[in-house]
Structure 1
């Protein structure tokens, strides 16, 4: 379970972010990878080479490191979200194609793409192989959303029908089912509006709305993927256009509050809580990362360029988890 959106502000800056909703324990960290960084892929340990510098959130396990979300120096950004019941990976590479593990595909895109236009070509050159990851010990079912500085977005899905790259005109993604289904399902909410509903006459009975917000009464309130997709799409498309960077950051996090999952609201079949462990937004122009966690709602920021240095090693900026500090108010 996860939700992702893009958001353009009045200055033409494209922000991109996601909630990380998960029922497995993870310890996400921020990393900066320099240009020309070399890493081990999970498909037989092949050596991979990054063309571009990257800042992203991920997790290490021995020689392997998987990204959950990130942006590169060219402003190309992407995230991986769960796609249970629909993802179907290849078991061996097709002739003439580069084998890339499902858990590595996000990193591979960030390493090689400068825009969403590059994604279609890259997908045609690789075989996405299902490889168990160290968190779930399975080939986690994933699909991917990508965007760039223009604000354009695409979705990549690998199913039994093959690998598809879908234009994403609304800049929203959640989980199952396939992306085209979600876009069709939005027609269900064609009557949802920020405007106030008027009174209606049923015979001799006059029905008046309870008050403000009656135009949104058809919006779904649950935490399923279709419900979260619809809420995020509605809120994103009805926001006033943010004027400044600061206003954009706050607008992004406000939208995600509507799809964030508290502990106890959803329990997995393994009897674990499925909840929003962290929320991040990044500025594709400046490569600044804004984040908060379930345990600490204060928004922190990390800049790729303030922490960047050339070299062969990845730069660790630490875990997203930070000590809680309350600002004190005193007499002026």
Structure 2
């Protein structure tokens, strides 16, 4: 499972990021790992012919993001115009047959290629609002390493102006669009999460430090009332609880400058990062936890990424002048 958060600096600069929570390792580390996904920082040049397991397309815009080596899929990324996005699991997501999509006059796209397609074709969230109804996800599995994968997915898109939407393929493969409240997790569908926020409107970023008198008894706040404003904030790692926690943390940050933005974003994610061992299946060694965290400075088209089995954060800035597809190993990117 995963979490996404958007925050905005005093000057309007937008910072957005996500955690990748899964049971498969994405980067090599000191941990014993029999299998590691060949994850890399991928930079796609403008005009590049994107290979596809369905139908190739030409990239209108250059894009940089986290993906798998030699494949057309990105897990998250940002393009030259500051449009960023990611894919996350949504159990309620749907797909449909190629025949059905063609009969409805829609363009078929593979779920694991949809993010790459949108980031290489659109400049802004507004453009996505105008075109998202043209697409539907086809029920064709994705082939990788002699295996087939079919993940149910939804997608977040955020641009440098602060506009943000969530696209969920819940209409027989076609999409329903939701205006984002600045955070996203997994299921249920996004409108359920937005409604659930209303159960927590009593939350506040101010502490109640006044004594309470009942039946001639005076009750003094414990620890001077520190943290009382968020008393009752869900603390578990379910999708629904992470959504509430991410929303209130992101909206309670002290004002910050552009230079402080990435540190503030990283701090906000500390509340939803899943430690290894908290979530595991019935088999020994099966853990669903945060494999990596990535934050994007949308104004500068710069990504900051951390393999969560290590402490170092690396950064890389999109070079929109490149002419060749480029793969950058995590350890080749500049350490912060």
Assess same fold via TM > 0.5. Answer: yes
Question: Residues 195 and 268 of structure 1: is their aligned pair in 2 closer, same or farther, counting only changes over 3 Å?
Answer: same
**Corresponding position of 2:258:** 244
1:131–1:138 contact (8 Å) kept in structure 2: no
Query: Which SS does the other structure have where 1:64 is aligned?
Result: coil
TM normalised by structure 1 equals 0.88
1:69 paired to 2:76: yes
Query: Which aligned pairs between 1:27-106 and structure 2 lie closer than 5 A?
Result: 27=37, 28-43=39-54, 46-60=55-69, 64-84=71-91, 86-92=92-98, 93-95=101-103, 96-106=105-115
1:117 paired to 2:130: no
- For 1:269 and 1:90, the matched residues in 2 are separated by 32
TM normalised by structure 2 equals 0.87
1:199–1:206 contact (8 Å) kept in structure 2: yes
Aligned CA RMSD, in angstroms, stands at 2.2
Q: Which ranges of structure 1 fall in alignment gaps of 5 or more residues?
A: 328-332
Query: Which SS does the other structure have where 1:187 is aligned?
Result: helix
2:47–2:59 contact (8 Å) kept in structure 1: yes
**Of 103-112 and 294-303, the range deviating more from structure 2:** 294-303
Query: Which aligned pairs between 1:1-332 and structure 2 lie closer than 5 A?
Result: 1-26=1-26, 27=37, 28-43=39-54, 46-60=55-69, 64-84=71-91, 86-92=92-98, 93-95=101-103, 96-133=105-142, 134=144, 137-160=148-171, 162-168=174-180, 170-197=181-208, 198-211=210-223, 212-245=226-259, 247-268=260-281, 272-305=286-319, 309-311=321-323, 313-319=324-330
- For 1:214 and 1:320, the matched residues in 2 are separated by 42
Post-superposition offset of 1:202: 3.9
- For 1:7 and 1:109, the matched residues in 2 are separated by 22
- For 1:55 and 1:269, the matched residues in 2 are separated by 37
- For 2:230 and 2:41, the matched residues in 1 are separated by 37
1:31–1:55 contact (8 Å) kept in structure 2: yes
Query: Which SS does the other structure have where 1:263 is aligned?
Result: coil
Query: Which SS does the other structure have where 1:112 is aligned?
Result: coil
Post-superposition offset of 1:120: 2.7
Question: Residues 122 and 322 of structure 1: is their aligned pair in 2 closer, same or farther, counting only changes over 3 Å?
Answer: same
**Of 94-103 and 142-151, the range deviating more from structure 2:** 94-103
Query: Which SS does the other structure have where 1:102 is aligned?
Result: coil
For residues 17-73 of structure 1, the C-alpha deviation after alignment (integer angstroms, 9 at most, x for no partner) is 101111123332101110011112222xx211110000100113xx53310000000
**Of 27-36 and 266-275, the range deviating more from structure 2:** 266-275
Question: Residues 9 and 120 of structure 1: is their aligned pair in 2 closer, same or farther, counting only changes over 3 Å?
Answer: same
- For 2:193 and 2:88, the matched residues in 1 are separated by 15
Query: Which SS does the other structure have where 1:238 is aligned?
Result: coil
Query: Which SS does the other structure have where 2:193 is aligned?
Result: helix
1:76–1:146 contact (8 Å) kept in structure 2: yes
- For 2:186 and 2:94, the matched residues in 1 are separated by 14
2:42–2:66 contact (8 Å) kept in structure 1: yes
Question: Residues 192 and 40 of structure 1: is their aligned pair in 2 closer, same or farther, counting only changes over 3 Å?
Answer: same
